[in-house]
Amino acid sequence: MVVATTNAPGRSSRDSESGAGWLDCSGPGVWCDDVPDGTRSLSWLRPSVLWQSRNDVVATTLADPTPAARARWVELARQRAGEGTAVADFVIAGPAGDSVSMLLVGDPGEGDNAQYAVAHELAEQSKSADFAVICSDVIYPAGDQADYGRKFHHPYRNVGVPIYALPGNHDWYEGLHAFMHYFCKLDDPGYVPRFGRGPAAWLASRLWRKPQQDSGTAGGADGVTVAERPPPDPVQPAPYFAIDAGPARYVGIDTGINGEVDAAQYEWLQRVSLQCPERPKILLTGKPIYVDGTYRPGRVIGSRQTVDQVVTDPRANFVMAIGGDIHNYQRYPVKLADERTIQYVVSGGGGAYMHATHVIPPVYINGVTESDFRCYPLRRDSLARFSQIVDRRLFGGLLRTSIEPQSAARYYADRGIVSRVDRELADRLSLGVRLKAALVRRIPAGRLFHRFGSEAFAFDSPPFFKNFLRVDLERTSATVTCFGVTGCAGTEHTPSVEDRFTITW
Ligand SMILES: [Fe+2]
């Protein structure tokens, strides 16, 4: 297997400030016309939003009903499919032929400006693609049925290909009922979540937020009524599934709220991964395996095995693993002991608030160094954008804590991370800029309700630094393109290419 990385052609954040959206961004693009009247940005500082998301805290600290609920959904799916059939193994016979193109968008569903900007580009790309996959967190904050109109059906109404999806933790906050209703055509309204025994389980059952009733309109309680997209055809068999597409097989897993895979799903993952060894495999997951310079192999409940053990098994023939959950783009080409290289990609910048990349330390993990690593936004752009938001939110713009991109580039160059050409670096940094950078970098990015720092300083105006992927399969290769979306006027038909690489087999 050979991996070739080509320099992103044309406009991108690696080429110029204009490519990043810092210059010439006179205002939002035509996607603005798609945003329904009355749309409010989803604010993670709003107490009601945090309260709606409380099942995350319940599941991670008291008792997690997700594995039992998933077992119930899978049981219903198998009953429908009939035992012993290919469908019962949750394998979709996707497009045949040598050339198949897939679009992947991660973590989109906040229903505000950034999602609509990405959706516009996605619709354009769909004219020459075969299907699309949402890789985790279809609907924020809690996967509610009433939010599907404004956050799924309406933004993607012009995406002219079937859309499949893998659930993220936010979709599980309501037991996955709305997700299963739309993508899998399965309903189980009488299901009662199971928390186990003991005081913690009792408390969890009391605090657990129950699925919300559908208001009866696709737009839900906010009064926006839109036509539903038709469900994917063939319908998605289960929350985890595989798609045979041209020469390759996509294998999608469901990592629930806690990022774990249950034993039954793991057995399925092994089985479908070892089938058809001649087909290269691509893992799709709600939890990336390499992210933020760390290795998270993927826990299996009640076992020491990991998801990555399957991915690296030479008999399975995986060439790439793509994960959502973290709202930016990252790529780690990991060379294994047997000389194969697997591309580990994070692609969660599909619409929701941006996770900072400026907190990622210089990368050195399992043979991947800073020179191999790619991310979008670049750390300099992430630092510069967050500094603007911090300035605005904390100080009302009075303290002028925002950092110019050139200064941010110098800040990282001084730390051995050169992200741009030298001519765009500031000469030297003042003490004030260094202090500002240190302040912004220390805003907590750990997990409280979520990753608090990134959510608290979410923004919903261009430049967005959003992204989605396009994977073009050919008989002996896959070309992967990371498109950047700034949302700036005039860029709608020329999305920036932030990364592109080709895997051959
Ligand atoms: Fe997410």
Per-residue confidence at 419, pLDDT binned at 50, 70, 90? low
pLDDT band at 218 (very low <50, low <70, confident <90, very high): very low
Q: At what angle do helices 431-441 and 379-395 cross, to 10 degrees?
A: 90
Q: In angstroms, what is the span from residue 348 Cα to ligand 1's centroid?
A: 7
Average pLDDT, integer, range 367-378: 94
Q: Are strands 368-369 and 364-365 parallel, antiparallel or unpaired?
A: antiparallel
Amino acid at 462: P
What pLDDT does 375 receive? 95
Residue 259 or residue 438, greater confidence: 259
Measure the CA–CA gap between 360 and 325, rounded to whole angstroms: 16
**Is pLDDT at 235 greater than 80 in this prediction?**
yes
The closest alpha carbon to 283, from 320, 315, 309, belongs to 320
Distance, CA 109 to ligand 1 centroid (Å)?
Answer: 8
CB-based burial, 32-69: b 16+ in 10 Å, e otherwise: eebbbeebebbbbeeeebbebbbbbebbeebbbbbbeb
- Distance from residue 83's CA to the centre of ligand 1 (Å): 34
- Residue 137's contacts (CB-CB under 8 Å, 6 or more residues apart) are 106, 107, 108, 109, 168, 169, 170, 171, 286, 324, 325, 348, 352
CA atoms within 13 A on the CB side of 319: 24
Residue 256 CA to ligand 1 center (angstroms) comes to: 12
What is the per-residue pLDDT across 317-359, written as a single tens digit (0 to 9) for each?
999 999 999 999 999 999 999 999 999 999 999 999 889 898 8
The pLDDT of 236-264, averaged and rounded, is 96
Residue 447 pLDDT > 60: no
pLDDT of 448: 39
pLDDT at 214 over 50: yes
From CA 167, how far away is CA 174, in angstroms rounded? 11
Cα 496 to averaged position of ligand 1 atoms, centre (Å): 23
In contact, 346 and 326? CB cutoff 8 Å: yes
How remote is the CA of residue 188 from the centroid of ligand 1, in Å?
Answer: 25
CA of 352 to the centre of ligand 1 (A): 7
Is the pLDDT at 397 greater than 70? The verdict is: no
CA distances from 174 to 148, 178, 380 (A): 13, 8, 37
Q: Across residues 77-105, what is the average pLDDT? A: 86
What's the pLDDT tens digit per position in 269-279? 999 999 999 99
pLDDT score recorded for residue 406: 85
Summarize the confidence of residues 404-433 as an average pLDDT. Answer: 77
Cα 331 to ligand 1 centroid, rounded to whole Å: 18
- pLDDT at res. 2: 46
Q: Is the pLDDT of residue 268 over 80?
A: yes
Scanning the structure block, which residue is given the tokens 């967050």?
Answer: 386
Mean predicted lDDT score pLDDT of the chain: 87
Lowest mean pLDDT among 82-96, 134-148, 213-227, 250-264: 213-227
Question: How close is the Cα of 111 to the center of ligand 1, in Å?
Answer: 13
Say what the pLDDT of residue 10 is: 54
pLDDT category at 14 given cuts 50, 70, 90 is confident
Top mean-pLDDT range of 32-36, 470-474, 484-488: 470-474
- Among 118-127, 230-239, 328-337, which stretch is predicted with the lowest mean pLDDT? 230-239
How does residue 233 score in pLDDT terms, banded at 50, 70 and 90?
A: confident
24-28, 67-71, 136-140: lowest mean pLDDT where? Answer: 24-28
Show the CA angle centred on residue 275, arms to residues 272 and 278, nearest 5°.
130
The reply to whether omega before 377 is within 30° of 0 (cis) is yes
* pLDDT score recorded for residue 446: 42
Residues 6+ apart with CB under 8 A from 80: 186
Q: How far, in Å, is the centroid of ligand 1 from the Cα of 461?
A: 19
Helices (H), 173-306: 177-179, 199-207, 263-274
Which domains are present in the chain?
Answer: 2-36+47-355+460-504 (3.60.21.10)
**Distance between CA atoms of residues 395 and 386, nearest Å:** 13
- Tokens read off for 45: 């500082």
Q: Looking at the predicted structure, is the pLDDT value of residue 490 above 70?
A: yes
Q: What percent of the chain has pLDDT over 90?
A: 55
Token output for 356: 């900072």
Amino acid at 402: S
Q: Which tops the pLDDT comparison, 200 or 50?
A: 200
Place of tokens 């769909």: 126
Distance (Å) from CA 169 to ligand 1 centroid: 7
CA 339 to ligand 1 centroid distance, Å: 33
CA 286 to ligand 1 center in whole angstroms: 9
For the cut 70, the answer to whether the pLDDT of residue 215 exceeds it is no
pLDDT tens profile 142-168: 999 989 998 999 999 999 999 999 999
Give the model's pLDDT for residue 219.
Answer: 45
Quick one: pLDDT at residue 216?
45
